[in-house]
Amino acid sequence: MGINKVILVGNAGRDPEIKSLPSGTRLATLSLATTDRRSKDENGKPRTEWHHLVFWDRMVDIVEQYVTKGKPLYIEGQIRTRSYEQEGQKKYFTEIHVREMELLGGRPSSGGEGFRDSGPANGFPDDADDVPF
C-alpha cells in the first residue's frame, strides 16, 4: 500500500489554460508558486518553487470561472510524472493532478474596498477576532 498525496498553498502563476481532448474531456492547467520565506535563494530572496497543476472534470469549470493569475489557492492532489523524448534524450515532467481545491483570499466587494475575507470557507463569523482562541 502506498500514499501519494500533496498539499500546496500558493498563488496562481498565470491564468488557467483550458484544453479539450479528442475524447471530449476537458482539462485545465496552470502553474502555482509556493514561496518559503524562511529559505533564501542565491540572491537573498525568498525561495519560490513552481508546480504544474492539472484539473479534470467539474473542477475545470470552477477553475475557468474563478481562478486568475495571482489568486491564492489551497490544493490537494497526486504527484504524477510523465516522460517524453527531446533530441534523443528522455526528459521527465512532474505535475500535480488536483483532487481538491479551495479558493483563498476573497472576492472584490461592491464598495470598491478591495478584497474581503470570504468568511464561510473557514467557518468563523466576520467578527472572529472576538473568538477566545
Q: Please give the Cα distance from 61 to 16 (Å, whole number).
A: 11
Mean pLDDT by 10 residues, the chain (133 residues): 94 95 93 87 86 94 94 96 91 94 70 30 36 33
Classify burial at 84, counting beta carbons within 10 Å of its beta carbon; exposed 0-12, middle 13-18, buried 19 or more.
Answer: exposed
| pLDDT recorded at residue 111 | 35
What is d(CA 106, CA 63) in angstroms, rounded to the nearest whole number? Answer: 15
Note the pTM of the prediction, 2 decimals: 0.72
pLDDT score, position 107: 59
| CATH class of the 6-108 domain in this structure | mainly beta
